[in-house]
Structure 1
Amino acid sequence: MMFGKLHISRNKLFVISLLVAGSAFIAILFPQCQSNDTNSASNYKLPKYVDYNYDIKPILSDKCYACHGPDNNTREAGLRLDTEEGAYKALAESPDKHAIVPGKPHISEAFLRITSEDESIKMPPTSANLPLTNYEIDLIGRWIEQGAVFKPHWAFTAPVKPEVPVIEDSDWGSNSIDNFVLAKMVNAGFEPNPQADKNRLLRRVSLDLTGLPPDEKLMDKFLNDTSAAAYERLVDELIASPAYGEQMALHWMDVARYADSYGYQDDDIRTQWPWRDWVIHAFNENMPYDQFVTWQLAGDLLPNPNKEQILATAFNRNHKITEEGGVVEEEYRVAYGLDKTNTYAKGILGITMECAQCHDHKYDPFTQKNYYGMYAFFNNSMEKGLEGLVNSGPSKTPRMTVTQEDLKGILNFINKWDDQEEVSVSVMGERDSIRPTFILDRGLYDSPTERVYPQTPESVLPFDSTKYASNRLGLAQWTFSSKNPLTARVFVNQMWAMVFGRGLVASVADFGNQGDLPSHPELLDWLAVDFQTSGWDIKRFMKQLVMTETYKQSSEINKKHLEKDPENIYLARSKRIRLPAQMIRDQVLATSGLLNRTIGGPSIKPYQPDGIWEVSSSGRGALAQYVQDHGKDLYRRGLYVFIKLTLPPPNMLIFDASNRDVCEVQRQRTNTPLQALVMMNDPAILEAARIHSANLISDSPNKVQKDYIQKAFRQVLCRNATEKELNLLVEYYNEELDRFTKKREDALAFLKVGEAPIDNNIPQEKLAALMSVVHAIYNLEETLTKG
């Protein structure tokens, strides 16, 4: 089905959006400019104590490491500035000089070079286009004066649980998290926003924990509960909902690069969806994070593994797979192993190990040997690079078959299917003999050099082969060692970013030298250790986050917020964030009454533009042409929308959904006119507006239009419209009713969108006019944001 023509007055819709969004929307569009000029001495004040990790290392990493960092292949003049030993030792070209002399910047060659006016010796060289500001130069000078103390990279040191700050003369806070936040907030000169009203808080927490807006029954229940425990009871109810597992699984699908096709040219269908059902099940059963990841990395290597543990290993097999004739089998077998390595490093450890595939990492202490040592854990898989078209099918060797008998037993969480007796899933399996692993020159599959053995980066935590087996199970055990500095930090940061919109470490996928420093380092470590000692309890952790006063704050933005903290680093307010693509779909379906709440099962193909898969020769077999589903399958959650890797759903990509070809731990957020076009033209949204309107009228046929509009507004936004908002929407309704009365054919054409039957018992002009209003409510900025 082609997307329809525009049916809404753009000017009217824009006015409505501005009205509902309020002054905060205008402030976001036109923030006040700020001066960041640090070349003027009057504009900055040096810290009393200069810290290497937080003050100096970011400068060196950005401006110096490319030539004087950990990468042996790009290091110049034999000078290494990322280690104490390298920075202090005599210069290779001038043995009587040293780059850094602690306490003596006036004889530290590095400082003399960065302050020199002589272009022939100035560092960084002018040609590098990496000039240091006066502030950065003075900061380095003070650091050297204070002894030039080097410290290990903060993320590669195991977290220690710090003392919880005690805030005097304040009763703000629900748990320890708030103490850390408030201490930082007050120190920065901010104070917390008031708590959000119950309507907005209800919508926010429901979207965060289930991905769905609350229905009217839940609204009334929560708003009428005036007890002190009302909010906690609400949180417990949401976390116990089956929709919680779906919401949590959506993030993990991005991490695991889940898709429903193989992804290369001649793309064809694959059936990994039983693994998706397992992920939903695991989150709903509150499987501890260490077990959740261990089963996915190495469930097949556990003692006497059962089918559920083996199914979990499908996580490793979600990468792109070729079915093209004429390819070199070994090239693709290696590529699959590299993908597994990169996904593990990025998604679970939060480091950019893929940079060391072709050469030593330029910024982090990871060598090529480290990279291929980690790759060696995945290199002993039974997986083939190419099975050939003769063996083409929805899964690849090694595979596991799920039977009807399994559905009655250990795999009873998998949604039953009607048209198949069994389904196969690509899983992991280990060879009986060891396949040797070599460092690949420039990362080329056919250029092996030095042989390496399973190992992990020493800078993170050396791999103890006397304690752990040299296989994926040993790697999983190493991952969850109490001494591993990354695993807990990375996961709690991902969850924090999902809830608050920005990680405590903003670079969620990069905890290395080029990544962002944590905004609240003590809080991050407290959360990481607390999560570990709780038994890696995910539901407990999610409840901790949403129970905080930090989370409950209003999202109202004032002038000080915009001028001093536009990114909300100090968490002095709740952040307004546009909903993810799948949640936009889910919200519309849920509030219209169309949503099919079935959990799990095969992916579905909703409305898409005609010929969407025929624009290129990227599919064959079942994927040569897009064949839309019908009936109740059209109204399933966005989690279950079919993802063809060579042509992912465009309406979701426009709203920044992951295209799932690689691991992605945090989605981008963009604002483009195409997003408005999707909201105004997508048949799913127009159809939902029609059904929503029909339900309103048929449920209460004797009510006036104003009542219908108020009810629709509350169902979508979880609050009553103000008198001004309501009057504007009623005016819009009357305009549309007049238009459709004069041109009844326009009303009939408008109502035809979508496959759900039209209620002919309702006057068509009246239904079309109310549909226009509901459609406008769906398009409001407030509707598309969480905050």
Structure 2
Amino acid sequence: MRQPFNTFSKLRYLIAMIVGFVWVVQACTNHASNTADEESLPDVVSYNFDIRPILSDKCSACHGPDANKREAGLRLDVPESAFKALKEHPGAHALVAGKPELSQVFLRISSQDTSTLMPPVNSGLKLSTREIKLIEKWIKQGATYEKHWAFVAPKKPALPEISQKDWPKNEIDYFILQKQEQKGVAPNDEADKERLLKRLSLDLTGLPPSLAMMDQFLADKSANAYETAVDKLLKNPAYGEKMALHWLDLARYADSHGYQDDGYRTQWPWRDWVIHAFNKNMHYNDFVTWQLAGDFLSSPKGWGGPGTPDKEQLLATGFNRNHKITEEGGVIPEEYRTMYVTDRTDLFGKGLLGVTMECAHCHDHKYDPFSQKEYYKLFAFFNNVKEIGIESVIGGPDTYAKKPLMEICDEDVKDLLSFVNKLDTNKLIVSVMTDLDTARKTFILKRGVYDAPGDEVQPGTPNAILPFNESYPKNRLGLAKWMFDKQNPLTARVYVNQLWQEFFGKGIVKTPGDFGMQGELPSHPELLDWLAVDFMEHGWDIKRLVKQMVTSATYRQSAVISQEKLRTDPDNKYLARGPRYRIEAEFVRDLILSSSGLLNRTIGGPSVKPYQPPGLWEGATSGRGLLSMYVQDHGDKLYRRGMYTLIKRTVPPPSMAIFDASNRDLCEVRRLKTNTPLQALVMLNDPTVLEASRVLAANLLRENSGVTDKINKAFRLIVSRKPSEKETAVLTTYYENELKKLDKAHAEKALAVGEYPIPKEVDKVKLAAMMRIVSTIYNLEETITKT
């Protein structure tokens, strides 16, 4: 008998219908998702670019190079281990080429049983559906392993085929455009001439273009106008200063020894040499070899006679004496000496090879194929320096440099070291590198502890990168030869990537200090290899490489971003627009001083102490030595470029620290880029910014021109373009309003900043009003942004 269709039955029926509908929708969604995943898989799965990143992120902690952390005796990063029978289940294999159904790796990562699922549930790691399907497809295709891409010597690929053949300016653009066409994006038009010149001038000199340069470039209608501007800027002495800044970060240059006493050091002649080397276009192989091993070179003008290094070659080795050095009593000398050697080794790995060798200091590297033994073989190259852990306590001029050292006399500056800006006849000493006559023994340090020596090791290099050629001397000169061996896979790639980062905001490899398994994959691997090989083929010529980058169509694009590009490529990975980011801290200062007319353009010399809030040093010091109290400089020293500001490691310059400058404790190959309210407060209140506003305002008021012309000129000097009519109108109105409300008392208060004298004949009310206009322009976001 049919039951009545009551309310309860209706409800149950409705629930069943809903559940069924949801099941169908989920099934369809899963099918669509799986289909989309299948479609997004590459035709040929690459171990390097598809599989290794998954293993590094999700598996290597337990199944990677670190034997101490390895589970079940299984190592997945090398085929010898991955294909052999499992230790705990001899009848099973982690991988069976062509057969995912027999491969325990695939069975475990795709298991629905949480007791066998890998990675374990409690690890917090989980593979996505796409990652599982990638591994499955890779196994089906034979599970072919490849050596890590960064440890294979680069080969120069052919230029790729592109559709838009009229866009490229040079070879770089073919690689960039090919990727854009693959991803369905199109490059921006070239930036307008004003913005393009500002970008170029900031990138090549760290300074804004002058009015004369702007007018000349705008007036030049020739086809090679841009290249002419590039060549002119490359010859500007400020180019060496701009290029040196990144190297100072990498080399951890500072003006103090560090640690608690943090005494003064005179390492600035090495900085002068770096600027000089970039300006004379010293090629990268010589530039680095001199810094690593200048004390092993020979010269007719040798310091100790012909066949020994000259003083310039020796000065270059100050590169590896920039590390922190203690002057505190009570320390254990051998502990600190070991720390110095460790610092040099870690700098070599991160700064010059782009790998995290420091991770192997205490144990085998957990992700990269570097053993602890190999770390200490590299350590051995830097372990023979004639130094001790603590040489002397903080004091007078004799402690400004630590042995081994070199004295620079007035005769040196007249002759070989003419680039050193020695301002007086006082004794000038610099820490350099020289080795012991008999090699110091090097041991593996158990857990990295200085007093726990293990097995003795000889100088050597990581085999995974390039075995050390036994024909090379087993000293730092041999290490430099190994670095510039054409088969070394890292040296050229790493520096090319660092330079790319300087001009485009981030490297082709986004992690410039980590080309290893945990680093980012290159966004354009073929371009990176092409540039690296081309760099080597042309003698490691830095200026040529710089010109290649800045003359490319890729570099010249407008930075304007559409909503579509913001949605499809928010990080500008495919470089379909020009770079846009805040300039470095030192260049913020340089732009302000240069545009105001205050900049002291002297190159080199001792570091200076500009305006700084009182009490900072005094509140963070042991109370001993030359740097126990901040004694501000005066006169022209107040207006030196930002790179010459004295860096005391324990209390770095505050305004520059707020703009993300390095405190130079350790090697730094990439600065953070932040945007904080403190940065806006610096631009509004820093004495240098306010003084520059006042000085530029006074210069404008003394000119025989109208208010509008004065405002337009200020805008061009600071922003490097002509203002729009609306911008001029807003600023003019602001000036007129300030004139009305300011009285003499308020004007004098506003003008009472900085030491540069106020012209006696100027109207102080007008000066204060114009000063506020200039300050407003300095505080525009566009002013300190590279666009």
Normalising by structure 1, we get a TM-score of 0.93
2:261–2:394 Cα contact (<8 Å) kept? no
1:39–1:133 Cα contact (<8 Å) kept? no
Q: 1:114-146 deviations in whole A, cap 9, x for unaligned?
A: 111222211101111111111111111111111
Q: Answer yes or no: is 1:416 the counterpart of 2:422.
A: yes
Q: Who is 1:17 aligned against?
A: none
Q: d(CA) in 1 for partners of 2:32 and 2:311? A: 63
Q: d(CA) in 2 for partners of 1:372 and 1:325? A: 28
1:38–1:133 Cα contact (<8 Å) kept? no
Higher RCO (C-alpha under 8 Å, 6+ residues apart): 1
Deviation of the 1:40 alpha carbon: 4.4
Q: Answer yes or no: is 1:437 the counterpart of 2:442.
A: yes
Deviation of the 1:147 alpha carbon: 1.1
1:38–1:134 Cα contact (<8 Å) kept? no
Deviation of the 1:746 alpha carbon: 1.8
Q: Who is 2:784 aligned against?
A: 784
Q: Who is 1:654 aligned against?
A: 658
Q: 1:369-427 deviations in whole A, cap 9, x for unaligned?
A: 01000000000110111112288610000000000010010001111213x43300000
Q: d(CA) in 2 for partners of 1:579 and 1:250? A: 12
Q: Who is 1:707 aligned against?
A: 709
Q: Answer yes or no: is 1:515 the counterpart of 2:508.
A: no
Q: Who is 1:85 aligned against?
A: 80
2:620–2:651 Cα contact (<8 Å) kept? no
Q: Who is 2:254 aligned against?
A: 259
What pairs with 1:593-612 in structure 2 (closer than 5 Å)? 593-612=597-616
2:392–2:399 Cα contact (<8 Å) kept? no
Matching residue's letter, 1:41:
N
Matching residue's letter, 1:140:
I
What pairs with 1:265-304 in structure 2 (closer than 5 Å)? 265-303=260-298, 304=308
1:90–1:96 Cα contact (<8 Å) kept? yes
Q: d(CA) in 1 for partners of 2:503 and 2:31? A: 34
Q: Who is 2:12 aligned against?
A: none
Match of 2:692 among 672, 675, 688: 688
1:493–1:503 Cα contact (<8 Å) kept? yes
Q: Who is 1:364 aligned against?
A: 368
Q: Answer yes or no: is 1:213 the counterpart of 2:208.
A: yes
Deviation of the 1:184 alpha carbon: 1.0
Q: Answer yes or no: is 1:57 the counterpart of 2:52.
A: yes
Q: Who is 2:572 aligned against?
A: 568
108-117 vs 238-247, which deviates more? 108-117
Matching residue's letter, 2:336:
Y
Q: d(CA) in 1 for partners of 2:530 and 2:42? A: 25
1:69–1:81 Cα contact (<8 Å) kept? yes
Q: Who is 1:399 aligned against?
A: 405
What pairs with 1:11-410 in structure 2 (closer than 5 Å)? 40-41=33-34, 44=37, 45-303=40-298, 304-389=308-393, 393-410=399-416
Q: Who is 1:751 aligned against?
A: 751
Q: Who is 1:462 aligned against?
A: 467
Matching residue's letter, 2:175:
F
Matching residue's letter, 2:477:
L
Secondary structure of 1:439 counterpart: strand
Q: 1:309-365 deviations in whole A, cap 9, x for unaligned?
A: 000000000000000001000001000000000001111000000000011000000
Q: d(CA) in 1 for partners of 2:741 and 2:384? A: 68
587-596 vs 165-174, which deviates more? 165-174
Q: d(CA) in 2 for partners of 1:571 and 1:646? A: 39
Q: d(CA) in 2 for partners of 1:738 and 1:53? A: 68
The count of residues paired between Structure 1 and Structure 2 equals: 745
Matching residue's letter, 2:457:
V
Q: Who is 2:301 aligned against?
A: none
Q: 1:15-34 deviations in whole A, cap 9, x for unaligned?
A: xxxxxxxxxxxxxxxxxxxx
Deviation of the 1:434 alpha carbon: 1.2
Q: Who is 1:3 aligned against?
A: none
Secondary structure of 2:454 counterpart: strand
Q: d(CA) in 2 for partners of 1:255 and 1:279? A: 12
Q: Who is 1:525 aligned against?
A: 529
Q: d(CA) in 2 for partners of 1:765 and 1:187? A: 60
Matching residue's letter, 1:728:
V
Q: d(CA) in 2 for partners of 1:523 and 1:319? A: 34
Q: d(CA) in 2 for partners of 1:365 and 1:206? A: 42
Q: Answer yes or no: is 1:641 the counterpart of 2:678.
A: no
Relative to 1, partners in 2 of residues 1:59 and 1:390: Cα closer, same or farther, differing over 3 Å? closer
Secondary structure of 1:424 counterpart: strand
Matching residue's letter, 2:436:
R
Q: d(CA) in 2 for partners of 1:348 and 1:123? A: 37
Q: 1:199-256 deviations in whole A, cap 9, x for unaligned?
A: 0010000000000000101111111111111111110000001000000000100000
Relative to 1, partners in 2 of residues 1:256 and 1:390: Cα closer, same or farther, differing over 3 Å? closer
Q: d(CA) in 1 for partners of 2:375 and 2:739? A: 66
Instruction: List runs of 5+ in structure 1 lacking aligned partners.
Output: 1-36
Q: 1:575-619 deviations in whole A, cap 9, x for unaligned?
A: 201000000000000000000000000000000001110112245
Percent identical among aligned pairs is 59
Deviation of the 1:84 alpha carbon: 1.1
Q: d(CA) in 2 for partners of 1:464 and 1:218? A: 51
Secondary structure of 2:733 counterpart: helix
301-310 vs 581-590, which deviates more? 301-310
Q: d(CA) in 1 for partners of 2:606 and 2:295? A: 24
Matching residue's letter, 1:611:
G
Matching residue's letter, 1:488:
A
Secondary structure of 1:733 counterpart: helix
Relative to 1, partners in 2 of residues 1:158 and 1:38: Cα closer, same or farther, differing over 3 Å? farther
Secondary structure of 1:449 counterpart: strand
Secondary structure of 1:724 counterpart: helix
Q: d(CA) in 2 for partners of 1:751 and 1:671? A: 29
Bigger Rg, structure 1 or 2:
2
Q: d(CA) in 1 for partners of 2:626 and 2:722? A: 47
Q: d(CA) in 2 for partners of 1:476 and 1:505? A: 24
